Amino acid sequence: MALDTRAAAARIVGDVLSGKSLNQTLPPALEKVAPRDKGLLQQLCYGTLRQAPRLEALLNQLLDKPLREKDRDVHGLLLCGLYQLEDTRIPDHAAVSATVAATKALKKPWAKGLSNAVLRRFLRERDSLLTKLPEAAGHAHPQWLFDIINEQWPEQANAIIDANNAQPPMTLRINARRGNRADYLLRLNAAGIAAKEGDLSPQAIYLESARDVLELPGFETGDASVQDEAAQMAALLLAAQPGERVLDACAAPGGKSCHILELQPALGELTAMDLDPQRLERVQQNLERLGLQASLIAGDGANPPPVLAAQSFDKVLVDAPCSASGVIRRHPDVKSLRRQNDIASLGAQQTAILQGLWPLLKPGGRLLYATCSILDGENNSVVNSFLKATDDAILVQPELTWGVTAGVGRQLLPNISGPDGLFYALIEKRQLL
């Protein structure tokens, strides 16, 4: 029997607010709802979590007292109900009725009256409740993140926040080994799929609306992949040359590794490493679909396995674990899961990875440091400290027309109709005398 869609969304949202990621909780539920309801379930989960700080602030006004931890599913249901009333085209009566009915599927009959009362009160007092929201909550951001975005990016803050709250575009990367962008755009047009060129990457295409990948011409045979345009800049900046040995040190799910191989067919070798062996399976799947080969190894960048010899790589890509503050629109659970004190601990982890991988780079080789963050504590501060502490590390500053200068690196900021927010810094190892 298929799951009730709103009850499933309620459990997922409740679990995320209790500390689980959307990537953990959503996929199993998608397998259990009716096929026709999969889209609705994704909309309810992503939409509710994208607006969670605002919806939480509204719910706090509507509840006399917080719900108990064991009733986090009811809490999630109320947030989903408010999302439907505030941010979807679902008629108010239908949203209220379906949300109230979901209490039965949750096996929480006592919540029927509460859900009905909360949602109907919101409809009666909507304008008054909205005017009482704090500024950060009104913009659907946790206070700490709202403050730091405005502090570090005062001129771009409004655009960043708007992009964070929007549904992201679906962006493709054309396989340079199998064709060019102009030809693939013609194939998309013939298939009735509206699309346009990206502005930064010569392989980037933006779809007018998201599609199932199986609808894309030649997807199964490797003609194209889904990858944000900002992420595509990594392979372009790394600029791997014929015969070089390249290490992608935090490789999963493998998009950047595959792009490097697509751009340089004469590469000597690419090694894709990731801490999680299960995530390496995704890398292998992507390589196989694209007809590419790489050496896969499980390992920690901060303490690389001995099989990776010192000074054995010409290029190293470090796509470091980070807050994901630059890709919130794709991972809206970040708003609920991240805390301000995470940034310092992530910065320490990123520094340890740089220090652990640096010995693997040959003199004259280059390391590209990348994060999907827009926060200085994970970007400029990390790289600048590493440069100051590492005698044979020198900054490379290529002439770039995209992004903005961010200390020692280059920052792409989330664009509502363009790329995600990613940071890049290029470092060369010089020969010490």
Element (H, E) at 96: helix 92-105
Q: Token digits for 332? A: 């809206």
pLDDT at position 3 is 73
The CA–CA distances, whole Å, from 424 to 134, 148, 156, 352, 365 equal 34, 20, 18, 17, 16
The CA–CA distances, whole Å, from 148 to 27, 134, 339 equal 32, 16, 12
**What's the CA gap between 410 and 175, in Å, rounded?**
25
Element (H, E) at 120: helix 111-131
Q: Token digits for 418? A: 């363009």
**What's the CA gap between 397 and 287, in Å, rounded?**
31
**What's the CA gap between 14 and 366, in Å, rounded?**
44
Active site residue 372: yes
Element (H, E) at 370: strand 361-371
The residue assigned the tokens 């062996």 is 277
Amino acid identity of residue 13, one-letter, is V
pLDDT at position 431 is 83
Query: Is 104 in a helix, a strand, or coil?
Result: helix
The CA–CA distances, whole Å, from 149 to 146, 373, 412 equal 5, 11, 14
pLDDT at position 433 is 63
φ, ψ of residue 290 in degrees (nearest 5): -90, -5
**What's the CA gap between 351 and 379, in Å, rounded?**
10
Instruction: Provide the residue-wise pLDDT of the chain in tens; the chain has 433 residues.
Output: 467 999 999 999 999 999 999 999 999 999 999 999 999 999 999 999 999 999 999 999 999 999 999 999 999 999 999 999 999 999 999 999 999 999 999 999 999 999 999 999 999 999 999 999 999 999 999 999 999 999 999 999 999 999 999 999 999 999 999 999 999 999 999 999 999 999 999 999 999 999 999 999 999 999 999 999 999 999 999 999 999 999 999 999 999 999 999 999 999 999 999 999 999 999 999 999 999 999 999 999 999 999 999 999 999 999 999 999 999 999 999 999 999 999 999 999 999 999 999 999 999 999 999 999 999 999 999 999 999 999 999 999 999 999 999 999 999 999 999 999 999 999 999 987 6
The residue assigned the tokens 């007018």 is 208
pTM of the predicted model as reported, rounded to 2 decimal places: 0.95
Please report the domains of the chain, with CATH numbers, ordered by start residue.
5-140 (1.10.940.10), 170-226 (3.30.70.1170), 229-429 (3.40.50.150)
Catalytic site residue from 45, 250, 322, 372: 372
Give pLDDT tens digits for 129-140: 999 999 999 999
Q: Token digits for 53? A: 């700080």
**What's the CA gap between 198 and 108, in Å, rounded?**
49
Sequence-ordered strand ranges (E) for 299-352: 313-319
